[in-house]
Structure 1
Amino acid sequence: MKPALSKWNSTLALLGFLVITFCAPALGAFTLPGEWYAGLNKPSWNPPSWVFGPAWTLLYTLMAVAAWLVWKQGGWTRQRRPLTLYFIQLALNAAWTPVFFGAHQMGAALAVIIALWLAILLTLINFWRVRLSSGLLLVPYLAWVTFATTLNFTLWRMNP
């Protein structure tokens, strides 16, 4: 009976990490790109809008699985630091969309995304130390946010 309960708890925890992680983009649904973003000068390498949905869906899923795998290595008690870093970066992730698309503050959004990048890097390192696969699952996220940071900076420079 004990293994089934443990498997049940583990499954519930994974679902919890998925739900919490996908709350970050759900908050952004209130501040869609709209006409303001469409009217910005953009670099030739700006991705088409259809890329963002599938890319972020994959990234949020990988993030949640990575956090769950860390949690499985001792729960909140043993993994307080890496999981705290995870939730800090998730909060920064959720903050960027309203700052950029909602408030149209590209400079402030750049500051948020730089803080996000640093928080992801710290999370990745801490996850890596707990479980190699968890750190590796965050590599695509860090790569994407590196690209997004470059794009945010370029948009800020192109649209004074």
Structure 2
Amino acid sequence: MAAAAAFAVAGLGALMTDIGPWYQGLVQPAWKPPDWLFGPAWTIIFAFAAASGAVGWRHAPDKVAREWLLVLFALNGFLNVLWSLLFFRLHRPDWALYEVGFLWLSVLALVLVLVQWPASRKASCLLLPYLAWVAFAALLNWKTVQLNGPF
């Protein structure tokens, strides 16, 4: 189930991602990774997130904890797809910059919830690359707005 959910979020995010003429016309910082790297990076991140969700689900202390875990992962998936929609489809990196803060907080919330369950600390650690990647994406988003705004 966790793998299916991760695949669905990844698929929707990919559908929202258009690196056509508008994106190619943006001035990007010199330190931005090549476009081909983003697909493999997100694939690894979503695989870790799916594993985290499965481990967390198995080791949740009770039904209420499982429900909260499901809500947090669903919120995170929504915010992940929303960021791609705002940035790539609506061409609003400025709006995406505000939204990415909520995306980062949603990952942090998952990390903090899972680390509290002794048997799920591994699940929490599996989300740390995601947290770091979203922080990096936020920095890249900020620099893109700075180099290209106003939108």
Distance 1:118 1:78, change over 3 A: closer
Distance 1:39 1:76, change over 3 A: farther
Aligned residues of 2:114 and 2:123 also touching (Cα < 8 A): yes
Distance 1:76 1:17, change over 3 A: farther
Question: Distance in 2 between the 1:40 and 1:50 partners?
Answer: 17
Of 122, 134, 153, the residue aligned with 2:123 is: 134
1:24 aligns with 2:13: no
- 1:35-62 per-residue CA deviation (whole Å, 9 max, x = no partner) reads 1111100101011011111110000000
- Residues 119-158 of structure 1 aligned to structure 2 (within 5 Å): 119-130=106-117, 131-158=120-147
Structure 2 equivalent of residue 13 of structure 1: none
CA shift at 1:114, angstroms? 0.8
1:89 aligns with 2:80: no
Structure 1 equivalent of residue 23 of structure 2: 37
1:159 aligns with 2:148: yes
**Higher radius of gyration, 1 or 2:** 1
Which amino acid counterpart does residue 139 of structure 2 have in structure 1? T
CA shift at 1:80, angstroms? 2.2
- 1:89-130 per-residue CA deviation (whole Å, 9 max, x = no partner) reads 111011111110000011111111111001111111101112
Count of aligned pairs between the two proteins = 145
Aligned residues of 2:79 and 2:102 also touching (Cα < 8 A): yes
TM-score (norm 1): 0.85
In structure 2, the gaps of 5 or more residues are none
Question: Distance in 2 between the 1:76 and 1:103 partners?
Answer: 39
Structure 2 equivalent of residue 116 of structure 1: 103
- Root-mean-square deviation (CA), in Å? 1.4
- Which stretches of structure 1, 4 residues or more, deviate above 3 A after TM superposition? 74-78
Aligned residues of 1:76 and 1:83 also touching (Cα < 8 A): no
Question: Distance in 1 between the 2:136 and 2:80 partners?
Answer: 14
Which amino acid counterpart does residue 21 of structure 1 have in structure 2? A
TM-score (norm 2): 0.90
Indicate the percent of aligned positions where both proteins have the same amino acid: 34
